[in-house]
Amino acid sequence: MDMTLDQIITQARSESLKIHRLDNHSGLQVLKLETPKASLVLHLQGAHVSSFIPRGADDILWLSSLAEFAPGKAIRGGIPLCWPWFGKHPKQAELAQHGFARNSLFKLIDIRTIEQDNALVTLELTDTAQTRTIFPFAFKLTVELLISTSLTIKLITTNLSRLPLPLSQAIHTYFNLQDIYNTQLTGLEAAPFYDQLSGKDDNETSSVITFKKETDRIYRTCNAQLIIDDSARQITIQQSGDDSTVVWNPWVEKSLRMSDFPDDGYVEMLCVEAANTGDKLLLQPGDCYELSQTIGLEE
Ligand code: BG6
């Protein structure tokens, strides 16, 4: 028989892994995990990490002060998972942007301590009658979180249907910055990109990207290795399984238009997303695909 959430938590607790429930008044299940190396807050809805703090540091993740925590609502900030499509649905514009995983309740499968006081959390989402009405495939989406001094988040998609499964996705990480006006992003030099604002393709000519206006770009990269330097610290990002890196900052006007986003929130955040965009990924029956992003601080 499957273990309950509390049984999994009780069994996983140890000297080096503290786990508390922070469930909220609207019934969302929320866990706080603390190891000697870091602490992390996880919402089972969306397998959504809303905070990751390496010991002694400030949060690596930005969370909107106006974020809504309610069943069926995507959380603004942290790490939303866009799955099984990124952006608008390729054929049905009426379907929710970025897919349904970020609003779906995941099942907690396991929490365990692994070598050197690291912790591994495994969650799962599988198809239901409801998901099959908008995404007619049998699937398993496994999310693994490896909590060390860095955080690795891995999305493993398995196609359990008899038909090829089209997939696009993103690990949509909101990074917490001191000041976007003094921030540099490196690792995308010479990369071709699609500018979602102008609808045009271009090539990155700068070795260092700075931010002075709304930015919404899909860089065509694989296994990107990036650094965000906000002049207070350097955040490192390593990706695998990605065919794109999405870089997004809403800037002034779009911030004003989003009800769950503070007017000046754009100054303190930058999204850098490990993604598979477009229509290139088609998983054959029985196939698995892994996308991951590791985030940490330069020592
Ligand atoms: C980014 C997209 O990934 O997500 C942007 O490139 C979009 O176009 C942003 O505005 C936020 O999306 P949402 O659905 O969370 O408001």
The predicted-structure confidence for 164-208, as pLDDT tens digits, reads as follows 999 999 999 999 999 999 999 999 999 999 999 999 999 999 999
86 pLDDT higher than 90: yes
Q: Which atom of ligand 1 is closest in space to residue 250's alpha carbon? A: 10
Q: Which atom of ligand 1 is closest in space to residue 170's alpha carbon? A: 3
Residue 116 is predicted with a pLDDT of: 87
Residue 123 is predicted with a pLDDT of: 98
Residue 195 is predicted with a pLDDT of: 98
Pocket probe mutation, ligand 1, options 271, 272, 277, max atoms within 8 Å of Cβ: 271
> Within 10 Å of residue 161's Cβ, how many Cβ atoms?
15
299 pLDDT higher than 90: no
For 10, the 3-state DSSP assignment is helix
Nearest Cα to Cα of residue 60 among 129, 152, 187: 152
Ligand 1 binding residues, C-beta < 6 A: 74, 97-98, 172, 196, 216, 246, 248, 273
- The CA 284 to ligand 1 mean position distance, Å, reads 28
- Condensed to tens digits (0 to 9), the pLDDT of residues 53-78 reads 999 999 999 999 999 999 999 999 99
Q: Are 98 and 75 in contact (CB under 8 A)?
A: no
pLDDT band at 136; cut points 50, 70, 90: very high
- The CA 19 to ligand 1 mean position distance, Å, reads 31
118 pLDDT higher than 90: yes
Global pTM reads 0.98
Residue 155 is predicted with a pLDDT of: 98
Nearest Cα to Cα of residue 167 among 78, 95, 275: 275
Q: Which atom of ligand 1 is closest in space to residue 216's alpha carbon? A: 6
Q: How many residues does the chain have?
A: 299
Q: Which atom of ligand 1 is closest in space to residue 172's alpha carbon? A: 3
Residue type, position 158, single letter: T
Nearest CA to ligand 1 atom 14: 97
